[in-house]
Structure 1
Amino acid sequence: MKLLGLLVVMLLLPLSVRAQNETMPDLSTLTVTGSGHLASTPDTAFVTLAVETAGKSLADAQRQNSRVMQKVVERLQALQIPKERIQTSSFTVSPHYRPLSKRPTAPPSAAPEIIGYSVSNSVTVELHHPEQAAAVIDESLTAGANRFHGLHWALRDEQPARLTALKQAAATAREKAAALSGALKVKLLRLISAREDSQVVRPQSHMARSMMAMEASADAPIFAGEVKVEATVTLVYEVGPE
């Protein structure tokens, strides 16, 4: 008998909870989003350059590449750039094949004939004095670099700028909430949730350029511009009548 009574209570309990939930009113909420930003002068630059060489054998192409890259690194170190801030960003080897049009007697199923190799070695240079960017490009070109893969600017420590932008965004969101609640004749009861997002917008010059293009613009001025940190904050408030 006791077991039967317990089963009845267990069956009725979900119905009781559901009835209570149905009688509870939905929360009235107000959602606002604020934005903030901070522009800072970059204190770091990254320059990516490459040396490309070709040879009839892989060993020959690698030997030429190593010799030229060593000259590039020596020029960079002469600018007082520590070796640990000169990092290989990519290293590729590409075989060259004889075109089928120049192999009239070869059957269609013949294996490709390798006639040479290209080696490309790219390095990224981290500069803690961004004004050195032009000198780095010029000295690398003089030493034998023949590709320019990009230049971009950054902040070594982005956290202070992110926090400042987030504070601005949160303050703007609160001001919006106060203005809207006053206009709508409702009262802000409590903050239910807060969501934040931030991003860094970096000025950059990203392009692949040949040695000829680099020589044509070697004396062109380079301007760092500003690094912008943008943030948004979304606040959700419970509201009620005044």
Structure 2
Amino acid sequence: MYYGYYPPYWQSRHQALVPSPPARMLTVKGNGRVPVQPDIAIIQLEVLTEGESVTVAQGENARIMDQVIQALINLEVPRDDIQTTNFAINPRYDFVDGVQVFRGYEVRNEITVKISPIAQAGRIIDTAVQNGVNRVSNIRFSVEDGKVHYQEALSLALSNAIGKAEAIANAMQLDLDRIPVSIIEKEQPQPIRTFSVAAEGLSTPIEPGEMIVSAEVMVKFQY
């Protein structure tokens, strides 16, 4: 028979109600950057027409845009890589002696074109302008398999955060739990380069250079 010590009921109950000290948290930000060579260009091509009536402006716009798309197809741009992204019809007004005067309508039709390889971008832009495009904008460079590079940057960001937390803990002599309590990923925008075309018949060099794929995380540790 065991005759061990059993604490009184009131004592065990009192000990159970004693709150444990709150956990202390350390939050750090980690960044990761991976340089890559882009292999895709995505551009926006716009046709703007004006006319005294909607029918005239829209008809002229449709004729020019059809011509532009056919020219791109002739350059072996797949039709699936050409997408209409904006179409708008708006009235035009001038102010004469402080009075608003109706001048007709303007029609904007915008397509987005995916170009691969990038070496074809200059030729495609020149051809589009020669066939009636009067604005080229939002040139964005990307890579075909961007997820792989982003995951690499994400891994570097997490390692960066862990390194920061360990450095802080060592400097302040903290007993750091190196297993994160939480990891929050922050979305990073892709770089965008924008310009307009003002003249036709000019060679348009496109130099994507080096693109940086970046990732950022907020990591919380307990100590």
Q: TM-score range by the shorter chain?
A: 0.7 to 0.9
Q: AA paired with 2:44?
A: T
In percent, how many aligned pairs have the same letter?
Answer: 30
Aligned-pair CA distance for 1:73: 0.8
Aligned to 1:225: 209
- Which residue number in structure 2 is paired with residue 91 of structure 1? 87
Tell me, in whole angstroms, the C-alpha distance in 2 between the residues paired with 1:83 and 1:38: 32
Which deviates the most, 167-176 or 113-122?
113-122
User: Structure 1 166/196 Cα, relative in aligned 2: closer, same or farther at 3 Å?
Assistant: farther
What is the CA-CA distance between 1:117 and the residue it aligns to? Answer: 2.2
Q: Which of 116, 123, 127 is residue 104 of structure 2 equivalent to? A: 116
Instruction: Give 1:196's aligned residue.
Output: 184
- Point out the structure with max Rg over C-alpha: 1
- The one of 67, 72, 75 equivalent to 2:68 is 72
Distance in 2, matches of 1:185 and 1:56, equals 77
Is the 8 Å Cα contact of residues 182 and 220 (structure 2) preserved in structure 1?
yes
Shift in alpha-carbon separation, 1:78–1:237, aligned structure 2, 3 A = same
Change (3 A) 1:128 1:178: same
Which shifted more, 118-127 or 53-62? 53-62
Write the mapping of 1:75-154 to structure 2, written as runs, cut at 5 A: 75-97=71-93, 114=102, 116-154=104-142
Q: CA deviation at 1:85?
A: 1.3
- Structure 2: gaps spanning 5 or more residues: 1-13
Which residues of structure 1 form unaligned runs of 5+?
1-15, 104-111
When you count helix as a share of all residues, which structure comes out higher?
1
Amino acid in structure 2 at the alignment position of 1:125: V
Q: CA RMSD in A?
A: 3.0
Query: Secondary structure in 1 aligned to 2:145?
Result: coil
Note the 1:158-237 alignment, pairs <5 A.
158-189=146-177, 191-207=179-195, 209=196, 213-215=198-200, 218-237=202-221
1:31 aligns with 2:27: yes
TM-score between both structures, scaled by the size of structure 2 = 0.79
Q: Report the Cα distance in structure 1 between the residues aligned to 2:103 and 2:21, rounded to whole angstroms.
A: 79
SS in 2 for 1:135: helix
- Provide the secondary structure at the position in 1 that maps to 2:46: strand
TM-score normalized by the length of structure 1:
0.73
How far is the alpha carbon of 1:179 from its aligned partner? Answer: 3.2
